Amino acid sequence: METSKKHFFGDMSVMLGRSMRHIFRSMDTIITVCITPIAMMLLFVYVFGGALQVGTDNYVNYLLPGILLMAIASGIAYTAYRLFMDMQRGIFERFHSMPIARSAALWGHVLTSLVSNAISVVVIILAALIMGFRSSAGILPWLAVAGILALFTLALTWVAAIAGLSAKTVDGASAFSYPIMFLPFISSAFVPTESMPSAVRAFAENQPVTSIVNAIRALLSGQSVGNDIWVALAWCIGITIVAYIFAIRAYKKHV
């Protein structure tokens, strides 16, 4: 017991190094989690943007929070995929028959998800800066944004873990992410919810993405965040706890 616990963080960082190599060697992953969101941003700003009425002159500022959430949603699909492949290929069996903490393999994937999504978020923000994104926010609001995005990533990562650990096929492992990637469209991410028909608007205003987008948008533009940040935090923490319980249950079935 002692030796495997003592090396927990060392083992986890070996797992992190392994999965990060997987990401950087997969063109497909890089295109989906970095290039596609940037392309979406270009499309919305320079093609649709002129026709959208959002009440701001700088549409990049308005759009960025939603794009970041979409990038994270597509990023965690790969977390599910990598977990599924590890289960299938037997490499988990090798790890589990070695004197390392059993949870190190799973937590390695969770850590990878946080680190890799953080990288793609930074790349997308840099692209947005080139496109004219500007923020008046100081250090503290930026830290708050980073915190919300990290929590959102963590929540979706555990959802992804359920899918990756209990899927029967590769397609099943990543299919769950499509509805999540669609949520930003029916939210305040691209246009204000006031412009939607009442039923759609009711859904949009009461789903997690809207409160998270609004909170991030307010933080970045230096406005008061009001209630949105608490609703956003409640969603993220709630999803994390529930998904964590189910993911661990699915993991225990395998070990």
Enumerate binding residues for another protein (CB under 8 A): 1, 3-4, 7, 10-11, 14, 17-18, 21-22, 25-26, 89-91, 93-100, 255
Max Cα separation, the chain? 63
Closer of 91 and 202 to another protein (Cβ) = 91
C-beta of 158: minimal distance to another protein in Å?
Answer: 24
User: Which CB sits closer to another protein, 24 or 185?
Assistant: 24
Taking the complex as a whole, the smallest distance from the CB of residue 18 to another protein amounts, in Å, to 6
* Closer residue to another protein, CB minimum distance, 10 or 132: 10
Which residues, at least 6 apart from 151, have a Cβ–Cβ distance to it below 8 Å? 233, 236, 237, 240
Task: CB nearer to another protein: give 102 or 201.
Answer: 102
Q: How far apart are the first and last CA of the chain?
A: 16
16-19 contacts: CB < 8 A, separation 24 or more?
Answer: 16/108, 16/111, 16/112, 16/115, 18/108, 19/82, 19/108, 19/109, 19/112, 19/116
Separation of alpha carbons 239 and 254, rounded Å: 23
Residue 123 and residue 9: Cα distance in Å, rounded? 27
How many other CB atoms sit within 10 Å of the CB of residue 30? 16
Compare residues 7 and 201 and give the one whose CB is closer to another protein.
Answer: 7
CB of 169 to another protein, least distance (A): 17
Our CB check for another protein shows the closer of 95 and 133 to be: 95
Q: Are 136 and 106 in contact (CB under 8 A)?
A: no
List the structure tokens of 49.
Answer: 């943007």
As measured in angstroms, the least distance from the Cβ of 163 to another protein is: 21
User: What's the min distance (Å) between Cβ of 92 and another protein?
Assistant: 8
Residue 101: CB minimum distance to another protein, A: 10
